Amino acid sequence: MSQRGCGFKELEDCLNCNAYLLHSTDVVVGAYQRNVDMWKKIQTTFNHEVVYINHLSHRTVKSLECRLEKISLACTLYGSCLTEAEERNQSGSNEQDIINQALALFKIKDPKHLDFKFTHCWEILKNYPKWVQPEKNQQDENSPLEHGTPISLDSSQLEGTPQDGIRPGYEGRRSGRDATKAKRRLASEKDPMLEEMKNDNSKTHTLLEQQLITFNNAHQAIMDLEQQKLDRKHARKQQKMDMKAATINAEILSKNLADMTPFSKEYWTNKKRVIVNIFQYREAKNI
């Protein structure tokens, strides 16, 4: 049975959030990277900060992903509570009153009625679109449409000529994917901790590449040594076989054929002839 790891510290939560923002909003890789690959990068960045710099425990991909999901759900709920508290804002209320009211709403709306414990994470995530609550589309109280005031159009508007370099119908267009990425990039550039993690992550990748090159060189050297051992072993084996064959050939050449039967004499004569032919062939080849 697997043993449950120790709980996350506030520093680990912050590093987890920053690592997620670093790789999920990476404009170079884009939003089309695989979820598995993204979380491997997050784990590498997180463990580099936690283990090698802050000397804390190593975390698995699953633990980081589950923890961030818990943080994300809580921060999303808190964001909606904060928006609701701001809408209920009464005259004389200050910012702390709104926060206290949002915390109270969170405890009411939370399925387990728990307190909001991720204020340290909210300070990191609150500026990113994923956790920002959409504002209500309300018309200005002074709008002519609100009070029924007639609208006068000049000739340029009647002719459909755009003014101030704005195309007709473009004013209400929502920001697209590029604009969202630009906002995320701008938000990330303002976070010094995220910038520091980017630099450390780059150094880590460089170090890993150097270690990989060193490992490959060492592995190749080991393979070369093993091949040399095999070659020497094969050479010794071949030498023994040649010596054994030479001994047998010498015995055949030294046989006395005088007392043998005609059949045996013919057999051993052919054997000697073959050996002599082999010697002559080798000598001619060496020449």
pLDDT in tens, 154-191: 444 434 444 444 444 444 444 456 666 666 666 555 56
- The one-letter amino acid code at 101 reads Q
Residue bearing the bigger pLDDT, 177 or 152: 177
What integer is the mean pLDDT of 16-40? Answer: 79
Q: pLDDT tens, 119-139?
A: 999 999 988 878 766 544 344
* Distance of alpha carbon 42 from alpha carbon 31, whole angstroms: 15
Q: What are phi and psi of 15, to 5 degrees?
A: -65, -35
Let me know: does 53 contact 5? Beta carbons within 8 Å.
no
Residue bearing the bigger pLDDT, 258 or 60: 60
pTM attached to this predicted model: 0.47
* Distance of alpha carbon 152 from alpha carbon 85, whole angstroms: 39
Residue 185's nearest CA partner among 27, 16, 14 is 27
Q: What percent of the chain has pLDDT over 90?
A: 19
Let me know: does 159 contact 153? Beta carbons within 8 Å.
no
Residue bearing the bigger pLDDT, 48 or 144: 48
pLDDT given at position 159:
44
* Distance of alpha carbon 194 from alpha carbon 102, whole angstroms: 28
> Is the torsion defined by CA of 8, 14, 17, 22 positive or negative?
negative
pLDDT at 106 over 60: yes
Residue 68's nearest CA partner among 106, 42, 36 is 42
pLDDT at 67 over 90: yes
pLDDT given at position 139:
41
What integer is the mean pLDDT of 184-212? Answer: 74
pLDDT given at position 182:
66
What integer is the mean pLDDT of 140-166? Answer: 43
Query: pLDDT band for position 58 (50/70/90)?
Result: confident
Residue 255's nearest CA partner among 275, 239, 241, 236 is 275
